[in-house]
A and B are shown apart, each in its own frame.
Chain A
Amino acid sequence: QVQLVQSGAEVKKPGASVKVSCKASGYSFTSYYIHWVRQAPGQGLEWMGMINPSGGNTVYAQNRITMTRDTSTSTVYMELSSLRSEDTAVYYCARDLWDSSGFLGYWGQGTLVTVSS
């Protein structure tokens, strides 16, 4: 079955960077786009960007984000730089339901990132 397992919670200071991982299993890693979505405390869902694990091409919602992938371990990474308090949120990776549909059919468990001085 499709599984997306994310790395653990992080606490960072303002101005630092954070890198969250998402390890995929149960399907052909290079066949489906992976997206990142975040959710601030008590708020809704915000799309951050996507990566095509096959070619590594990306689309970002903002320019502080970098997404990479390691096909040897079926893992996608999302790095967010110049952190500020407003970046405190749960970060989810999610896989397209089919091909490059853009519909987020499968989700990781989430990673809480706390930005605090």
Chain B
Amino acid sequence: DIQMTQSPSSLSASVGDRVTITCRASQGISNKLGWFQQKPGKAPKSLIYAASSLQSGVPSKFSGSGSGTDFTLTISSLQPEDFATYYCQQYNSYPPSFGQGTKLEIK
């Protein structure tokens, strides 16, 4: 099975900041990597698929990059509604697997 490791596990930032979250796969997954946002008490919401493609309706402040084993999610100009937990997911091979999450908190 493919293990996904996110860093950092938590991150404090201010409104208006730009932040980057990293996700590393235990083996190469091409670009089969997606990102989710989850707010407390809510289901995850898909943001990005194929490493860098925005899901319909997701603002362009979210961007993704990477290929192979190393990927990043960047959020620009943080707003209060962006403070949440973010997860990566690989879908290159079964079983699909998730990173452990990165909690983005207001500084």
Chain A residues within CB distance 8 Å of chain B: 35, 44-47, 59, 61, 92, 97, 101-110
Contact = CB atoms under 8 A, between A and B. Distances in A.
Main secondary structure of the interface of B (DSSP, over half): loop
A106 B87 contact: no
Contacts, number: 55
Interface in B41-57: 43-46, 49, 55
A110 B91 CA distance: 21
B49 A109 contact: no
B66 to A, nearest CB: 15
Contact of B49 (A45, A92, A103): A103
Nearest to B97: A47
B28 interface: no
B34 interface: yes
A75 B99 CA distance: 29
Interface of B: 32, 34, 36, 43-46, 49, 55, 87, 89, 91-92, 94-101
Nearest to B90: A102
B101 A102 contact: no
A108 B44 CA distance: 9
A44 B43 contact: no
Nearest to A109: B43
Given A103-B89, A107-B43, A47 B101 contact: no
A97 B46 contact: yes
B97 A44 contact: no
Report which residue of A44, A45, A47, A108 has the largest number of chain B beta carbons within 10 angstroms of its beta carbon.
Answer: A45
Given A35-B96, A47-B98, A103 B44 contact: no
B46 A106 contact: yes
17 contacts: A44-B100, A45-B44, A47-B95, A47-B98, A61-B95, A97-B46, A97-B49, A97-B55, A102-B91, A103-B32, A103-B91, A104-B34, A104-B36, A104-B89, A105-B46, A105-B49, A107-B45
A106 B43 CA distance: 10
Nearest to A92: B43
Given A45-B98, A103-B91, 18 more contacts: A44-B99, A44-B100, A45-B87, A46-B98, A47-B96, A47-B98, A59-B94, A59-B95, A92-B44, A97-B49, A97-B55, A102-B96, A103-B34, A104-B44, A104-B89, A105-B49, A106-B46, A108-B43
